[in-house]
Chains A and B, each alone.
Chain A
Amino acid sequence: MLQGSEINKETPNLGELYQEIIVEHSKRPRCKGRVEGCQFCQEGKNPLCGDNITLYCQLQSSPQTNALPRIMVNFEGSGCSISQASTSMMCQAVSNKTVNEARAQISKVEGIYTGRAEQKSEDDLEEDVEALHGVSKFPVRIKCAALPWKTLELLLNENFDENGLQRPESLSCKLNEPCGSKARKLKVITTD
């Protein structure tokens, strides 16, 4: 049996997780609110913790014909500051990008929040999303940061082909479709 106390693992610095940029985005989220008439939407959830977002994506009209479509993404949601800040930063970062530029951004940022990419100091960040590097030191919180990026990846893959062009079968907003009907509905009794 072990006697006495042992000092094990040092605590990672919370300041790296809650960098000023992240706290600021969580308090004043950008691109928040549903866009009426959005063309594509996708819900994303972390069921075990309850973080929940819906992304609304529209295509920008381009003055040039034959140009690749560019996207604008807004969101609604609730959850911890990391999930909400990450979503806010993502919407900002992919705004006005083509689908494949957005896909490249998704993989780049995955490298940041998982800690595979090189870390930059808080003063040298070129874009806000680089502040997500601190999340990599907190393995249980990586899923919070990843939520919007995984959700956007799914939205893009479902609606756009590998060249970044809209798939012919993906035309209407899923939110306007009737929900998939279950074979049988639960008979719930209340006192009301």
Chain B
Amino acid sequence: MKKIGASLRLEFPVFAHNVRRCADGVERPLCYLDSAVSTHKPQKVIDKIVEFMSRDYGSVHRGAYQLSVRASDQYEAARARVARFIGSGVRAEQVVFTRGTTESLNLLAHGLTETRLTADKRIVIPAIEHHANFVPWQQAALKADCEIAYIPMCGTSGSDLRLDLNAAAKLITPNTSIVSLAHVGNVLGQINPVQDIAALAKRVGALVILDCAQSMTCFSENPFDWGVDAIAFSGHKLYGPTGIGVLVLRPELLTELPPLLTGGGMISNVTLEESTWTTGTAKLEAGTPPITEAVGLAAALDWLDDVGRSRIHEHASSLASKFAEKLEKIPGIQLFYPGTGNETIVSFRHAALHAHDLATILDGSNVAMRAGHHCAWPLVRQLGVDALVRASFAAYSDEDDIEQAIEAIKEATYLLK
């Protein structure tokens, strides 16, 4: 079985390049606790990208020559690899490559505004979503002049940091066309009750869209088995490259969706008067697609499945629990952590130390954590704070990261006292 934790770090060159002599003269390894924003890349993924660009690169579906054929084969193999990664029953023809989760969700919001939203309809989303799954729907509701309803949390601390299912049941009314939510929250790390919400949506015939940006590294259940109609995620949070995202659609929805971008590669015919679209995934992939990135993503998925998603989840959530336990003992620290033991993210703040100051001081000890509103401004406002620090754990995280981070946080609280 593949290693996990500190011994796995040897596969990630970034750690060897970022040992740092800190101001106190002590050399410290990189303590990277920001994998929820983006993960680092294993050598295997880097090598695959270099190999593809060195040997097989060509534009896809356009050339009669060998290079183009080889590149097209690898690009389409990546599509099939993504389908297999999601689960049995998902076909490559359902997998659209985009630039990232944000583009995938925008593509949906834009298309469904055209095909489904009228003034009498309703969109339902949690009030605590990442802006990527918040702003596109808010803007769609404005465009269509339809209703938007926000599912609240049960409360603002501890185990109440979860979606209020009773409220969801009231808000998902018969005029609801779209219910869109994250599988896993990017700030609180809560695992949303997707199956329950999908069942509520299905009862009224609404589409269910799932933002899997945070969940694909840890969960291998196939969301389409729960009645979900579309899922979106990004390569760069899956130990793969940036610039590649995925949108997977039920076949009927793929037929329904109009393109967000028009141009080369997505047309059936173009005359001076009009243009018609091609069918299938190509319709939604205008222009030269992220070819190298797709090949890199496929390599990342191979790597990820080698380690095992449920193993990563078990490892990262256990580290998060241990970290939260130690963190809570530091005076002045307030946790925003549901504490079910399944979260891989711990968000917190210090009573007297602003999140940005804390993050800057932590960087002084080579500890990388995200501070701010985490692209979830409505959530942070609901919590009654202006910014949070977030620690997120991944396959290469380990107990030494916890020690280094806790020590740095304790020192920070002395420094600015």
Contact = CB atoms under 8 A, between A and B. Distances in A.
Contact of A50 (B149, B363, B373): B373
B372 A49 contact: yes
Interface in A158-192: 184, 186-191
Given A49-B372, A78-B386, A191-B152, A7 B19 contact: yes
A188 to B, nearest CB: 6
Contacts of B23: 10-14
A131 interface: no
Given A49-B356, A80-B355, A8 B148 contact: no
B17 A50 contact: no
Nearest to B170: A191
A67 interface: no
Interface in B109-142: 122, 138, 141-142
B260 interface: no
A184 B142 contact: yes
A2 B22 contact: no
Interface string A17-34: 110000100000000000
Given A184-B145, A187-B146, A191-B152, A5 B19 contact: yes
A149 to B, nearest CB: 18
A186 B146 CA distance: 8
Contacts of A82: 356-357
A9 to B, nearest CB: 7
Nearest to A6: B17
Contact of A186 (B148, B355, B363, B372): B148
B93 interface: no
A141 interface: yes
Interface string B158-179: 0000001001001100000000
Given A1-B13, A14-B415, A7 B357 contact: no
A190 B150 contact: yes
Given A1-B13, A1-B43, A189-B122, A9 B146 contact: no
A79 interface: yes
A13 B23 CA distance: 6
What range describes how many residues of B lie at the interface? 35 or more
A11 B16 contact: no
A157 B347 CA distance: 41
A75 B170 CA distance: 43
Interface in B345-366: 354-357, 360-361, 363-364, 366
Given A7-B27, A80-B355, A190 B149 contact: yes
Nearest to A77: B386
Given A50-B372, A189-B149, A191-B170, A9 B17 contact: no
B302 interface: no
A188 B344 CA distance: 32
B142 A8 contact: no
**Interface on chain B toward A: helix, strand, loop, or mixed SS?**
mixed
B13 A14 contact: no
Given A187-B147, A188-B149, A9 B20 contact: yes
Q: Which of A5, A48, A138, A190 has the most CB of B within 10 A?
A: A5
B410 interface: no
A3 interface: yes
B416 interface: yes
Contact of A189 (B16, B148, B356, B360): B148
A58 interface: no
Nearest to B43: A1
A188 B171 CA distance: 11
A78 to B, nearest CB: 5
Contact of A191 (B20, B29, B167): B167
A6 B14 CA distance: 10
Nearest to B18: A8
A4 interface: yes
A80 B22 contact: no
Given A78-B386, A144-B356, 20 more contacts: A7-B20, A10-B20, A11-B23, A13-B23, A14-B360, A18-B361, A48-B372, A52-B386, A80-B355, A80-B387, A81-B357, A138-B360, A186-B148, A187-B148, A189-B148, A189-B149, A189-B171, A190-B149, A191-B167, A191-B170
23 contacts: A1-B43, A5-B16, A7-B20, A8-B17, A9-B20, A10-B21, A10-B23, A11-B21, A14-B23, A17-B360, A18-B416, A49-B387, A52-B386, A80-B355, A80-B357, A81-B357, A138-B360, A144-B356, A188-B147, A188-B148, A191-B152, A191-B164, A191-B170
The 6 closest A-B pairs by CB, nearest first: A80-B356, A189-B149, A80-B354, A5-B19, A191-B167, A187-B147
Interface of A: 1-14, 17-18, 23, 48-52, 78-82, 138, 140-141, 144, 184, 186-191
